């Protein structure tokens, strides 16, 4: 089965070997307070910083998922409210969840073909955290590095958090331009679900220490204190952390992955742009995602394409949210080989032959 589902998506084939090695090395039942795990944790943190160009003074924490990070950040970095800028389902879900915890949380929705409107945003001075989704998996849009920098420059005194679930480990993100970044590993990392990566600037940790919120097992200040010794507050997903270590060791540095992924994204957009019966959902090239492509057509055609693809052992991504019935999605993640995309192209050319 060729898997183009945008998460959980295709695993790196080496994962099979990594799993066997993890068993042989006693990783799966290693005590998470023991030296074996501490050494593993230290190695992964170092590899993440080197391979993904994360600043050395930023800190890294292990969570269960990106959605857990939503909770951690709202409870540990805000007393009153956050401000959410979004154009799709996952950004909106983060906003709706924040309102349950902090009823005064505010949000601003912008159009899927619009550049994030930084200059026109009205964000009050008592906002403690600005939240954006860098790559919106539901509709195939992205917020550019320039927009993130402009947001940082305009609201310099407010912490900025970035959901990078569908782009971390695929794109060369400019971490220095925001205070918090997070993702899950079942997309561009090419690993099984069940592990989240939370990246925090010194300024974010300073704020967490100031608040000193300790009412939850996953409070950020508690995560910080445990990670000083490369440990976690909870029993971690040790196996997935080990898989992450091995994957990082065997992959190129992010600069090369970014170049390859963007080149392939451009080729895929050009290919899918030639068809008449369906079109690219995102018309504005500037805001098109490089890692998730979304194609729009009438509901019957979308359903037929997905069914025929499955018959040819090709799994396309379902539409999501408001676009659930009239779109399908195609992941452009590093673990998927170029030849698999050539097979996908042959399917579509045959479909319309």
> Among 155, 129, 134, 143, which Cα is nearest to 66's?
134
pLDDT tens, residue by residue, 88-114: 999 999 999 999 999 999 999 999 999
Q: Indicate the domain borders of the chain.
A: 2-8+253-352, 14-250
| Domains 2-8+253-352 and 14-250 fall in the same CATH topology | no
Residue 17's pLDDT band (boundaries 50, 70, 90)?
A: very high
Label residues 70-79 b or e (16+ Cβ within 10 Å = b). Answer: bbbbbbbbbe
Tell me what percent of the residues of the chain surpass a pLDDT of 70: 100
pLDDT tens, residue by residue, 304-352: 999 999 999 999 999 999 999 999 999 999 999 999 999 999 999 998 7
pLDDT for 285 beyond 70: yes
pLDDT tens, residue by residue, 176-198: 999 999 999 999 999 999 999 99
The per-residue pLDDT for 89 is: 97
pTM of full prediction above 0.85: yes
pLDDT for 220 beyond 90: yes
The per-residue pLDDT for 15 is: 98
Mean pLDDT of the region 38-56: 98
* Other C-beta atoms lying within 10 Å of the C-beta of residue 107: 17
pLDDT tens, residue by residue, 237-264: 999 999 999 999 999 999 999 999 999 9
**Any idea how long the chain is?**
353
pLDDT for 58 beyond 70: yes
pLDDT for 353 beyond 70: no
- For tokens 């800190």, name the residue: 59
The per-residue pLDDT for 142 is: 98
- Peptide bond preceding 37 in cis form (omega within 30 of 0): no
The per-residue pLDDT for 352 is: 74
Mean pLDDT score of the chain = 97
The per-residue pLDDT for 139 is: 98
49's tokens: 């910083």
* Other C-beta atoms lying within 10 Å of the C-beta of residue 24: 9
Q: What does the alpha-carbon distance between residue 45 and residue 206 come to, in Å, rounded to a whole number? A: 20
DSSP code of residue 168: B
Contact by Cβ (8 Å): 60, 132? no
Label residues 176-195 b or e (16+ Cβ within 10 Å = b). Answer: ebbbbbbbbbbbbbbbbbeb
Give the CATH number of domain 14-250. 3.40.640.10
The per-residue pLDDT for 227 is: 98
Q: What does the alpha-carbon distance between residue 333 and residue 297 come to, in Å, rounded to a whole number? A: 23
The per-residue pLDDT for 351 is: 83
Contact by Cβ (8 Å): 129, 158? yes
pLDDT for 172 beyond 90: yes
2-8+253-352 under CATH 2.40.10.10, yes or no: no
97's tokens: 């969840």
Helix, strand, or coil here: 31? coil
pLDDT tens, residue by residue, 152-163: 999 999 999 999
pLDDT for 16 beyond 80: yes
Q: What does the alpha-carbon distance between residue 161 and residue 148 come to, in Å, rounded to a whole number? A: 10
The per-residue pLDDT for 53 is: 98
Q: What does the alpha-carbon distance between residue 137 and residue 184 come to, in Å, rounded to a whole number? A: 12
Tell me what percent of the residues of the chain surpass a pLDDT of 90: 98
> Among 245, 195, 249, 205, which Cα is nearest to 227's?
205
Helix, strand, or coil here: 179? coil
Contact by Cβ (8 Å): 293, 269? yes
Residue 119's pLDDT band (boundaries 50, 70, 90)?
A: very high
pLDDT for 149 beyond 70: yes
């Amino acid at each position: 089965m060729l898997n183009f589902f945008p998460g959980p998506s295709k695993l790196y084939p080496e994962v099979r070997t990594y799993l066997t090695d993890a068993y042989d090395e006693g990783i799966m039942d290693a005590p998470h307070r023991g030296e074996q795990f501490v050494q593993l944790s230290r190695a992964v943190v170092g590899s993440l910083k080197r391979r993904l160009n994360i600043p050395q003074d930023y800190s890294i924490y292990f969570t269960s998922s990106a959605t857990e990070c939503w909770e951690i950040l709202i409870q540990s970095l805000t007393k009153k409210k956050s401000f959410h800028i979004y154009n799709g389902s996952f950004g909106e879900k983060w906003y709706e969840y924040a309102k349950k915890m902090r009823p005064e949380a505010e949000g601003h929705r912008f159009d899927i073909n619009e550049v994030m409107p930084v200059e026109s945003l009205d964000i009050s001075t008592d906002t403690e955290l600005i939240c954006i989704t860098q790559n919106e998996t539901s509709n195939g849009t992205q917020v550019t590095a320039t927009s993130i920098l402009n947001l940082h420059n305009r609201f310099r005194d407010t912490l900025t958090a970035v959901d990078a679930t569908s782009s971390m480990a695929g794109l060369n993100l400019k971490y220095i331009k925001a205070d918090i970044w997070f993702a899950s590993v079942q997309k561009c990392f090419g690993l099984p679900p069940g592990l989240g990566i939370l990246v925090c600037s010194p300024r974010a940790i300073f704020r967490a220490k100031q608040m000193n919120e300790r009412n939850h097992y996953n409070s950020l200040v508690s995560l910080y204190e445990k990670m000083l010794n490369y440990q976690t507050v909870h029993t971690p997903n040790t196996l997935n952390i080990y898989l992450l270590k091995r994957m990082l060791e065997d992959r190129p540095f992010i600069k090369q992955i970014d170049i390859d992924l963007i080149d392939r994204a451009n080729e895929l957009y050009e290919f899918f742009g030639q068809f008449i019966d369906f079109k690219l959902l995102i018309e504005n090239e500037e805001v098109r995602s490089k890692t998730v492509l979304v194609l729009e057509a009438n509901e019957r055609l979308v359903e037929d394409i997905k069914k025929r693809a499955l018959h040819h052992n090709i799994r396309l991504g379902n539409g999501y949210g408001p676009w659930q019935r009239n779109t399908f999605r195609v992941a452009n993640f590093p673990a998927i080989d170029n030849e698999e995309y050539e097979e996908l192209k042959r399917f579509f050319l045959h479909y319309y032959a």
